[in-house]
A and B are shown apart, each in its own frame.
Chain A
Amino acid sequence: MSANLTPRAKFATTLLRTAAALSRATGRGDGSVIGGRVGLIVEPRLLELLAEGRHVVLISGTNGKTTTTRFTTAALEAIGRVATNSFGANMPTGHTTALAKAPKAEYAALECDEHYLGQLLDAARPKVVALLNLSRDQLDRAMEVTALAAKWRQTLQASAGQTTIVANADDPLIVWAASVCERVVWVAAGQSWTADSAICPNCGAHLDRFGEFWRCTNCGLNRPSPQWSVAHQGEAVVGPDGRRYDLRLQLPGRVNRANAATALAIASLFGVDPAQAAPRLTEVASVAGRYAKVERDGRHLRLLLAKNPAGWLESFDMIDPVPPVVLSLNAREVDGFDTSWIYDVDFTSLAGRKVVVTGDRRTDLAVRLEVDGVDFLVVDDIRAAIAAVPPGPVEVVANYTAFQDIRAEFNRVN
Chain B
Amino acid sequence: MALSTLRIVWLYPDLLSTYGDRGNLLVLAHRARARGIDVEPMQVRSDQHIPHTADMYLIGGGEDGPQAVAADRLLQDGALSRAAEAGKPILAICAGYQLLGASFYANGRAYEGLNILDLRSDRGPSRAVGEIAGESHPQLGIGPITGFENHGGRTHLGEAVQPLARVTAGVGNDGTTEGAWAGHVIGTYMHGPGLARNPKLADLLLAWAIGVDPAQLPPLDDGWPERLRHERFTALQTAAQ
Contacts and interface: CB of A to CB of B under 8 A. Distances in A.
Interface string B46-82: 1100000000000000010110010000000000000
A344 B224 contact: no
Contact of A338 (B66, B69, B150): B150
A255 B193 CA distance: 29
Interface string B186-206: 000001110011000000000
Given A141-B129, A198-B14, A372-B26, A204 B69 contact: yes
B18 interface: yes
B35 interface: no
Interface in A323-345: 337-344
Contact of B65 (A139, A141, A146): A146
User: Quick one: which of A338, A343, A372 has the most chain B CB within 10 A?
Assistant: A343
B26 A146 contact: no
A276 interface: no
B23 interface: yes
B116 to A, nearest CB: 24
Contact of A342 (B20, B30, B45, B47): B20
A341 B26 contact: no
A340 B65 contact: no
B191 A206 contact: no
Contacts of B208: none
A55 interface: no
Nearest to B131: A337
Interface residues of B, number: 35
Contact of A199 (B26, B30, B66, B131): B66
A366 interface: yes
Interface residues of A, number: 29
Contacts of B228: 363-364, 366-367
Contacts of B26: 343, 371-372
A3 interface: no
A371 B14 contact: no
Contacts of B193: 340, 343
User: Quick one: which of A204, A338, A341 has the most chain B CB within 10 A?
Assistant: A338
Interface of B: 13-15, 17-23, 26-27, 30, 45-47, 63, 65-66, 69, 129-131, 148, 150, 191-193, 196-197, 224-225, 227-228, 231
12 contacts: A140-B129, A198-B15, A198-B45, A338-B192, A343-B20, A343-B22, A366-B224, A366-B228, A367-B197, A370-B224, A371-B26, A371-B30
Interface of A: 136, 139-141, 144, 146-147, 195, 198-199, 204, 206, 337-344, 363-364, 366-368, 370-373
Given A340-B192, A364-B228, 8 more contacts: A141-B129, A198-B15, A199-B66, A339-B192, A342-B20, A343-B22, A344-B20, A344-B22
